[in-house]
Amino acid sequence: MSSYKPGCLLAALLVSALAAPCAAAAAPPSVTTVTIHADRPGATINKNVYGQFSEHLGSGIYGGIYVGEGSPIPNTRGFRNDVIAALKELKVPMVRWPGGCFADEYHWRDGIGPQDKRTVRINTNWGGVPESNAFGTHEFFDFIDMIGADAYVNANVGTGTPAEAAQWLEYMTGEQDTTLVKERKANCHDKPFKVAIYAMGNETWGCGGNMTPEYYADVYNRFATFMKTSQQPRPELLASGDHDGHTEFTTALMKNMRAGMDAISLHYYTILGPRWPDKDTATGFSEAGWINTLANTLKIDGYIKKQDAVMTAFEKKMPAAHKKMGLYVDEWGTWYKPEPGSNPGFLVQQNTLRDAVVAAANFNIFHKYADRVRMTSIAQTINVLQAMILTDGPKMLLTPTYHVFHMYKPFQDATSLPINVKTGTYKYGKWSVPQVSASAARTKDGAIVIGLTNLDPHNSVDVSTLIAGAQEGQVKGEILTAEAMDAHNTFDNPNAVHPVAFDGAKLAGNKLSLTLPAKSVVVLTLN
């Protein structure tokens, strides 16, 4: 791995400082102080916080993951070898499937049995294109098995019935020789599949049925009552919850909970508004687009806090033994205008350094709520919205977002550590955001891992860190940065943005100091 040299960016930074528009504020004070309490360990950061979402949408599955056995693209049983290897390397803990909006029109029987006999339907949500159902239940489990992930299956509530959802669960997880289990075996899978999360509908306030919170709370109870399985541990049951700053669905679900419920979902997309068509472009954006995106993404902190407050208020009235409700952020990430020339229903967008900073800032927030936010899935894995991977026929590239997920791998199942960040403010136009976002954790093998991101695209920041309870040790790190705010990888230059070793951090006793370059993500490991 090459190593980050501060001098390399100096010339570019001087040029960009000279060329900075007059709206840019003067450099803020550039010393940030961070205090980490290694002596006061918090909740475990569930590895599922690093989950993925793969919907039948555009080339998210067909072409992106699955090309079929007859494809000239190198594959194993129809799954792209390059994509499988990249996802395996990412240590993806969990994949959510089959939607999204698609889930509430998905009938699982369409996707089992011989592929040439499967029902073809129109994907009414995404581009109005034919859905071959070649990728169904068995293909999904084959896929997650290959990459080493667990299954989050989203049942159809909008156009389905409790019977259909219950029978799908029996088909997947049943052990005794019922007719459905025999059918699974006839379809070449003797052993039950393991379902970790079974969700009852998606966005029931919108594409999942346009329901009111109270109506859905009843529907949820009805569905959840019949989701029976002998699988141990039984799948977690997930209710479809709110989006953005709303809390009506969580309130109604908590208030009317009668059947088992392990978690409630929250969706939050980083979209520039105020109107849907006002979305930013994925590349070629201005500094206003940079800071506006970051200011918007940070709003999730307050939204999670609001959800947590509602859940906590209800939990206080429950018996002490009641398990803390999970808040599963099972759709998050940036949503820009589609790439010119692409089918607008396919939600294809490039992915830049801005997305990398967005991802890191979100992780730092999720870690803060580790006891509540025990699962998230970014939208979406491949070729859709804030993707890890983009493909074009046989070509594949890893996005800056992929690299941040890779850099943050040590946080999976680590113990969160309380952190206090005193940092300056980066301002531009009418927006302002903290310069530095950070989180820290103790890994299972005892190392301390620190994630830091500098949201300021112009100024580096000196970071002075005190780690209470840390021993003398060694520090190593990785950095992701680039000269342009919209730096990205292309099929012709797939390695333009990639992490390199960062040796700019100095550890003396329990004091750590470093200079965090402008618009960068750094992950440090202290052993």
The residues carrying an active-site annotation are 203, 331
**Within 279-384, where are the H helices?**
287-315, 353-368
> Which residues fall within 8 angstroms of residue 218, CB to CB, at 6 or more apart?
256
3-state secondary structure of 525: strand
For residue 380, cis peptide bond before it (omega within 30 degrees of 0): yes
Reading the block at residue 66, the tokens are: 């699955």
Q: What does the DSSP assignment read for 109-145?
A: GGGSS-GGGSPPEEETTTTTEEE---S-HHHHHHHHH
Nearer Cβ to ligand AHR, position 268 or 366?
A: 268
Q: In whole angstroms, what is the distance from residue 354 CA to residue 281 CA? A: 12
Sign of CA dihedral 156, 161, 162, 166: negative
Min dist. Cβ of residue 100 to ligand AHR (A): 3
Min dist. Cβ of residue 385 to ligand AHR (A): 6
Min dist. Cβ of residue 203 to ligand AHR (A): 5
Nearer Cβ to ligand AHR, position 271 or 449?
A: 271
Nearer Cβ to ligand AHR, position 55 or 170?
A: 55
Nearer Cβ to ligand AHR, position 100 or 504?
A: 100
Min dist. Cβ of residue 245 to ligand AHR (A): 16
Min dist. Cβ of residue 172 to ligand AHR (A): 22
Find where tokens 């977690």 sit. 236
Min dist. Cβ of residue 68 to ligand AHR (A): 24
Min dist. Cβ of residue 279 to ligand AHR (A): 13
Min dist. Cβ of residue 332 to ligand AHR (A): 10
Nearer Cβ to ligand AHR, position 350 or 465?
A: 350
3-state secondary structure 31-89: EEEEEEECCCCCCECCHHHHEEECCCCCCCCECCCECCCCCCCCEECCEEHHHHHHHHH
Cα 427–431–436 angle (5° rounding)?
Answer: 55
Q: Is 288 exposed, middle or buried (0-12, 13-18, 19+ CB in 10 A)?
A: middle
Sign of CA dihedral 266, 450, 416, 439: negative
Residues of the shown chain interacting with ligand AHR in the complex, contacts defined by CB under 6 A = 55, 99-101, 202-203, 331, 379-380, 385
- Closest to 387 (Cα-Cα) out of 395, 373, 398, 376: 398
Q: How far is CA 365 from CA 45, 361, 420, 427, 516, in A?
A: 11, 6, 13, 21, 19
Helix (H) or strand (E) holding 391, with range, is: strand 389-392
Total residues found in the chain within this entry: 527
Q: In whole angstroms, what is the distance from residue 13 CA to residue 481 CA? A: 12
CA 359 to chain centre: 8
In single-letter form, the type of residue at position 188 comes to C
Nearer Cβ to ligand AHR, position 96 or 406?
A: 96
- Whether the Cβ atoms of residue 425 and residue 105 lie closer than 8 Å to each other: no
Helix axes 248-255, 287-315, angle to 10 degrees: 20
Nearer Cβ to ligand AHR, position 99 or 410?
A: 99
CA atoms within 13 A on the CB side of 208: 25
In single-letter form, the type of residue at position 98 comes to P
Min dist. Cβ of residue 244 to ligand AHR (A): 11
Q: In whole angstroms, what is the distance from residue 174 CA to residue 508 CA? A: 57
Which residue's CB comes closest to ligand AHR?
100
Kindly report each contact of residues 61-68 with a partner whose C-beta sits within 8 Å and lies 24 or more positions away, as own/partner.
61/135, 61/382, 62/132, 62/134, 62/135, 63/383, 63/391, 64/381, 64/382, 64/383, 64/384, 64/389, 64/391, 65/135, 65/143, 65/381, 65/382, 66/134, 66/135, 66/139, 66/143, 68/134
Nearer Cβ to ligand AHR, position 201 or 451?
A: 201
Min dist. Cβ of residue 421 to ligand AHR (A): 31
Nearer Cβ to ligand AHR, position 379 or 475?
A: 379
Reading the block at residue 50, the tokens are: 């690093």
Nearer Cβ to ligand AHR, position 203 or 236?
A: 203
